[in-house]
Amino acid sequence: MNKPQRPLSPHLQVYKFQFTMMMSIMHRITGLFLSLGLVIFVYWLYRLATDQNIANQMIGFFQTGLGMTLLYAWIFAFAYHLCNGIRHLFWDVGKGYSIPAVYRSGYMVLLAAVLLTAVVYFLSR
């Protein structure tokens, strides 16, 4: 059998925790979480078109404590995934690969995601 010459994934169990790996796994978790959110969003669009009572019940749920928590988790996930996605796109064109740059863009993404979430919060007051 040929021994693969490709790089292997790091073994997470023996890896020291690092800021950059948290940023990376968060992109995956937010992506999956947003996929679930989009299912609910599309169902809501369907109900807006077919039965406004149910659409209103859904709005009502997202105004309860649990609903608001979930809603803002989704808004933050979207803000984070969007900003970190832009970071990914810069890497894809070959920019920002030095270790200091990776940390700097990581902090910028976190800050931008928090700010974007806050802007949405104050806009919808």
Partner 1 sequence: MTQQTNSFQTDTAKVKGLGSSKSGFGHWWMQRMSAILLIPCGLYVLFGLAGAEILNAQEVVNWLSQPVNAAVTLLFALAGSYHGALGIQVVVEDYVHNHAVNLTLRYLTQIMMIVMMMTSIFALATILFG
Residue ranges binding partner 1 (CB under 8 A): 5-6, 28, 31-32, 34-35, 38-39, 41-43, 45-50, 52-53, 55-56, 59, 75, 78, 82, 85-86, 88-89, 92, 120, 123-124
Query: What is the torsional sign of CA 13, 14, 17, 23?
Result: negative
Q: Which is nearer to ligand HEM, 28 or 57 (CB)?
A: 28
Is residue 9 at the binding interface for ligand HEM, with CB under 6 A as the rule? no
Distance, in Å, from the CA atom of 45 to the CA atom of 37, rounded to the nearest integer, reads 12
Are 117 and 68 in contact by the 8 Å Cβ rule? The answer is no
Contact partner, 21, from ligand HEM, partner 1, none, Cβ < 5-8 Å per class: none
Instruction: Decide which of partner 1, ligand HEM, none touches 33; Cβ closer than 5 to 8 Å per partner kind.
Output: none
Identity of the residue, 73 or 82, whose beta carbon is nearer to partner 1 in the bound complex: 82
Contacted entry of partner 1, ligand HEM, none for residue 80, CB cut-off 5 to 8 Å set by kind: none
Angle, in degrees to the nearest 10, between helices 99-123 and 65-92 = 140
Residue with smaller CB distance to partner 1, 3 or 100: 3
Whole-angstrom Cα distance, residue 26 to residue 70?
17
**CA-CA distance, 81 to 75, in Å (whole number)?**
10
